[in-house]
Amino acid sequence: MIETLSIKEQIKKLIELQKLDGDIYALKRELREKPEYLVKLKEDFENKKANLKQHEEQYKTLQVTHKTLEGDLKTQDDAIAKFNAQLSLLKTNKEYTAKLHEIENFKADRSIVEDKILLSYDALDATKANVDKEKVVVAEEEKKYLAEKKVIEDSVKILEDKAKVLESQRAMIAPSVPKAILSRYDRVLEHTDGLAIVPVKDGTCGGCYMTVPAQVANQIKMSKELVFCETCARIIYLVDDL
């Protein structure tokens, strides 16, 4: 019967459980970390895409500006052509001179628009180069992200399968431990990140490495009850006494 297990036998059973639980907790830690890493990879990829989109939006804005400037240039050319046609219809030198002055003003404005168009071509070329460069970066990052995503998803499946196997093995051993002891062990396990029972080594706790007082060590040797570390609350035992 379970209830007749000696303290030493209980400790041996708990050590068996601890070996499984240590592996289970390690697997679960990995299962938490891998999705977090995948989220980070996705964030990096999305940032690259956002950077590309920003360059593309900038390029579109420059295209609109460039088209507007070309429209302004055509307006200037049309106005100049119209005024030149009107020159032959003017009857006085004063009107002729005034019209020439208007034409010169339009030509001056046209020259400014032309300069802006030339600068616009340079800006378009530079931005297009950035867009093309970022497209290459995003394409490479997407391949990298999808490849690593596949690796992580595959490894998560493997880890989950391993965890299920270990949990099945644990389920076979756990019933052999008295319920009260198992409950206490599980509580310690939960609060110590998967390490509930540890040996005393060179007079120190194998969990928190704090000194185990001589009187506590004597309690362990008496084997009348489970003994807990006064510092970290883990179950402690002496290897030589088992």
- Between 1-15, 101-115, 186-200, 220-234, the lowest mean confidence (pLDDT) is in 1-15
Instruction: Band the pLDDT of 1: cuts 50, 70, 90.
Output: very low
Fold annotation for 25-175: Helix Hairpins (1.10.287)
Amino acid at 25: Y
Supply angle C-alpha 194, 165, 38, rounded to 5: 70
pLDDT > 90: what percent of the chain? Answer: 93
Tell me the mean pLDDT in the region 167-182: 94
- Between 90-94, 121-125, 152-156, the lowest mean confidence (pLDDT) is in 90-94
Encode pLDDT of 193-226 as tens digits. 899 999 999 999 999 999 999 999 999 999 999 9
Q: Which residue has the tokens 């497209």?
A: 135
Q: What is the pLDDT of residue 240?
A: 87
Contact 61, 204 (CB under 8 A): no
Q: Which residue has the tokens 């093995």?
A: 169
Distance of alpha carbon 135 from alpha carbon 129, whole angstroms: 10
Q: What is the pLDDT of residue 161?
A: 97
Host H or E run for residue 237: strand 235-237
Distance of alpha carbon 66 from alpha carbon 71, whole angstroms: 9
Q: What is the pLDDT of residue 242?
A: 75
Encode pLDDT of 17-41 as tens digits. 999 999 999 999 999 999 899 999 9
Q: What is the pLDDT of residue 50?
A: 96
pLDDT at 2 over 70: no
Distance of alpha carbon 72 from alpha carbon 219, whole angstroms: 96
Residue 210 to residues 84, 205, 226, 233, Cα–Cα distance (Å): 100, 6, 18, 11
Q: What is the pLDDT of residue 88?
A: 87
Instruction: List the beta strands (DSSP E) in 135-233.
Output: 197-201, 204-205, 227-228
Distance of alpha carbon 46 from alpha carbon 52, whole angstroms: 10
Residue 149 to residues 38, 140, 146, 160, 236, Cα–Cα distance (Å): 7, 14, 5, 16, 42
Distance of alpha carbon 176 from alpha carbon 190, whole angstroms: 20
Over the chain, what is the mean pLDDT? 94
pLDDT > 70: what percent of the chain? Answer: 99
Instruction: Band the pLDDT of 156: cuts 50, 70, 90.
Output: very high
pLDDT at 113 over 50: yes
Cα-to-chain-centroid distance, residue 57? 26
Q: What is the pLDDT of residue 4?
A: 72
Every domain of the chain and the residues it spans: 25-175
